[in-house]
Amino acid sequence: MNTGQQIHARILKNGDFLARNEYIESKLVIFYAKCDILDVANHLFCRLRVKNVFSWAAVIGLNCRMGFTEEALIGHVEMQENGILPDNFVVPNVLKACGALVWVKFGRAVHGYALKVGLEGCVFVASSLIDMYGKCGLLDDAKKVFDGMIERNFVAWNSMIVGYVQNGLNEEAIGVFNEMRLEGIELTPVSVVSLLSASANLDALEEGKQGHAIAIIGGLELDNILGSSIINFYSKVGLLEDAELAFSIMVKKDIVTWNLLISSYVQYGQVAKALNMCHLMKSENLKFDSVTLASILAAAADTSNLKLGKEGHCYCIRNNLEPDVVVASSILDMYAKCETIDDAKRVFNSMTHRDIVTWNTLLAAYADFGLSGEALRIFYQMQLEGVSPNVISWNSVILGFLRNGQLDEAKDMFSEMQSLGVQPNIITWTTLIAGLAWNGHGNEAILVFQKMQEAGIKPSATSITCALSACKDVASLRNGRAIHGYVARHDLCLLSPIATSLVDMYSKCGNVDLAKRVFDTVLTKELPLYNAMISGYALHGQAAEALALYKRLQKEGINPDNITFTNILYACNHAGLISEGLELFCSMISEHHVKPSMEHYGCVVSLLCQCGNLDEALRLILKMSYEPDAHIIGSLLAACRAHHEIDLVDYLSKRLLQLEPKNPGNYVAISNAYASAGNWNEVSKVRDLMKEKGLRKNPGCSWIQIGEEVHVFLAGDRSHPNTEHIYAILALLGMEMQFNTEILRS
């Protein structure tokens, strides 16, 4: 720049002889254009008396580089109006502008022009045509140009690969890359970067590793772009350590490099590491951009950290990042996930620019809270404002209904979306399966899971987990085993969420041995798997096995959580292991710093009552920060039977009936307590009270066995609390429930 400007000054000083020289004037325009000084170049260009093809090329190229694509195309037209024919230097720039604007027709016209004036043999022109067609999504046309080239250089190959990657045709991109390698064409950083991008999109571990290897063997410099692609690839396939390694050996890092690692940490739930990276980034004097903030806000949303979220929001306001739709959607999502949906709505209303993601974010927030009416309103409003819903929008509306128990509405929406041509995807199906299961329609959930496969959708890990959970709910060992078979045939047993669900399914379906068999096949066992197995043992009254597993998980260095303690205390409670239970409860609080839940207290109170230590049980209840629930009161009432504490029985009875006035079991417990104390007067009062409330003593169930079949007769319908008990009993016997509603009605 400096030298050029000095020469320019010298030219001006020397007067018109040089300054008005046509050749020198053009050269000056080209010089300023190459230095990216747009205003000076344009100024000098406008003053040119004779505009030749070289100066036109320089100015059109500069406009194109600076992102003034329309100006570049206008220049191209003007140039021709002035009778100058664009050459093989101008045409590539014009094509680049067409590609950037996705102006297909203009691009085709330029293609026609290139053919007419015989430029098709130029590799620059042909490569640019491939790029232009690729950017416009016309891969067939790009391929046609590519195939028609007599002499192909690496840019042509790369443009073809890039075209495929940018249009989501990742397999094709990898294919072209391999062909290029077989042809012995030099693989450049662009080829490798594109391969890595395709591999990342496909979760193609081997291909991406090959790309990394080729980069190393080819001695390619690990610059910010290649390095970032490597980091991106390793993060997307879940090899975070390899991504970290690449990061640590990169010399030239830019904001994209940092953002990649930060977003990966957020994606894998390592929020502390992500925030630490932000601090390190700051100390390197890099300023956060909208991508950084999108990640920080997502981290705040995932961890319901409203304080962090607000800090992020404020940063966006101070640095004017709010106009970015992605950032705005993240802010919205953050408020929604931090359970401040009114703030989310406020952010939404203040947004000037909304896209489909923005609408879907708000819609998802209402759906998540089960506010199906609000969700539906948003769903219609977005259409009124000209944004047509995509499959995500439909999924949220369906979820909203299911969360609110509106099964029919959810199913209606499911068929309506199909009749409007929106195909349900794996998440739609999974939502439906999970929703039916939550709402107590386990059998229907299993049917939907089968229907999904008939529709040609391959089950995902989550859908399998949900289906297994449905099998567990209805104690359907037969269906559970069928899914286990599917899982085994498709090598999915190794996924820990699936293994955990299988263990849970088998134990709840009454087969703790099969549960144990699945448990043993998992090599690296994580806490949820241990919890499922411990819960199985607890349910089956095998407290010793449950305790042994608890010891084993600690030996493996895994920290038990509140769920572990719920299950293990439950096991101790049912097996009457008093000292073990109390010891566990103490260590849970003092060593593992788990805040005891109502369930934990319930187990311990029950244990203390079992051994007749009513005083200790009462002392514990006074210490806890919850109002005692019906379970706890029930335990105390049972303990009173041994102590004949009439005042306490009076108090507990009153409280119990306040909490659960409609549960006949409570009346039975109360009358038993009075009966033990010999207070027959109260016993008959309780019986009268029951009659008065129209309650009947739980009939339990009666059953007959005919051959292999057990017929169970229930009083009440499927939603009656007794039904749950029957499920549990049948599950423990490893049997399935089949409803015969006619018998049920009679």
Nearer CB in complex with DNA: 492/549: 492
Chain residues 263-282 in contact with DNA, contact rule CB under 7 A? 263, 267
User: Is 166 near DNA (CB under 7 A)?
Assistant: yes
User: Is 425 near DNA (CB under 7 A)?
Assistant: yes
User: Is 573 near DNA (CB under 7 A)?
Assistant: no
User: Is 256 near DNA (CB under 7 A)?
Assistant: yes
Q: Helix, strand, coil % (nearest 5) of the chain?
A: 70, 0, 25
Query: Measured between alpha carbons, how far is 263 from 296 in angstroms, rounded to an integer?
Result: 8
Residue from 41, 110, 155, 726 that binds DNA (CB under 7 A)?
Answer: 155
Residue from 63, 127, 199, 606 that binds DNA (CB under 7 A)?
Answer: 127
Q: Which stretch binds DNA (CB under 7 A): 184-192, 408-416, 446-454, 615-623?
A: 184-192
User: Is 406 near DNA (CB under 7 A)?
Assistant: no
Chain residues 79-118 in contact with DNA, contact rule CB under 7 A? 92-93, 96
Query: Measured between alpha carbons, how far is 635 from 164 in angstroms, rounded to an integer?
Result: 68
- Is the CB of residue 398 less than 8 Å from the CB of residue 389? no
Query: Measured between alpha carbons, how far is 290 from 319 in angstroms, rounded to an integer?
Result: 9
User: Is 292 near DNA (CB under 7 A)?
Assistant: yes
Helix (H) or strand (E) holding 743: helix 741-745
User: Is 368 near DNA (CB under 7 A)?
Assistant: yes
User: Is 129 near DNA (CB under 7 A)?
Assistant: no
- Is the CB of residue 26 less than 8 Å from the CB of residue 62? no
User: Is 154 near DNA (CB under 7 A)?
Assistant: yes
User: Is 325 near DNA (CB under 7 A)?
Assistant: yes
Nearest to 398 by CA among 363, 350, 357: 363
Nearest approach, Cβ of residue 408 and DNA (Å): 19
User: Is 327 near DNA (CB under 7 A)?
Assistant: yes
DSSP code at position 252: S
Nearest approach, Cβ of residue 198 and DNA (Å): 10
User: Is 255 near DNA (CB under 7 A)?
Assistant: yes
Residue from 26, 55, 170, 295 that binds DNA (CB under 7 A)?
Answer: 295
User: Is 190 near DNA (CB under 7 A)?
Assistant: yes
Please, which residues have CB within 8 angstroms of residue 432's CB and are 6 or more apart in sequence? Answer: 398, 402, 410, 411, 414, 445, 448
Residue 687 structure tokens: 């019986």
User: Is 257 near DNA (CB under 7 A)?
Assistant: yes
Kindly report the number of other CB atoms within 10 A of residue 39's CB atom: 8
Nearest approach, Cβ of residue 424 and DNA (Å): 9
DSSP code at position 704: E
Nearer CB in complex with DNA: 198/515: 198
Please, which residues have CB within 8 angstroms of residue 522's CB and are 6 or more apart in sequence? Answer: 493, 494, 496, 499, 529
User: Is 422 near DNA (CB under 7 A)?
Assistant: no
Residue from 19, 391, 648, 675 that binds DNA (CB under 7 A)?
Answer: 391
CA atoms within 13 A of residue 192's CA, in its CB half-sphere: 25
Q: Which stretch binds DNA (CB under 7 A): 34-42, 151-159, 557-565, 624-632?
A: 151-159
CA atoms within 13 A of residue 302's CA, in its CB half-sphere: 16
Nearest approach, Cβ of residue 400 and DNA (Å): 10
Query: x/- contact string, 46-85, with DNA (CB under 7 A)?
Result: ---------------x---x--------------------
User: Is 225 near DNA (CB under 7 A)?
Assistant: yes
State the DSSP string of 525-547: --HHHHHHHHHHHHHTT-HHHHH
Chain residues 329-348 in contact with DNA, contact rule CB under 7 A? 329-330, 333
Nearest to 362 by CA among 387, 289, 438: 387
Residue 211 structure tokens: 């790309």
User: Is 326 near DNA (CB under 7 A)?
Assistant: yes
Query: Measured between alpha carbons, how far is 206 from 215 in angstroms, rounded to an integer?
Result: 14
Nearer CB in complex with DNA: 391/729: 391
Nearer CB in complex with DNA: 154/713: 154
AA letter at 409: E
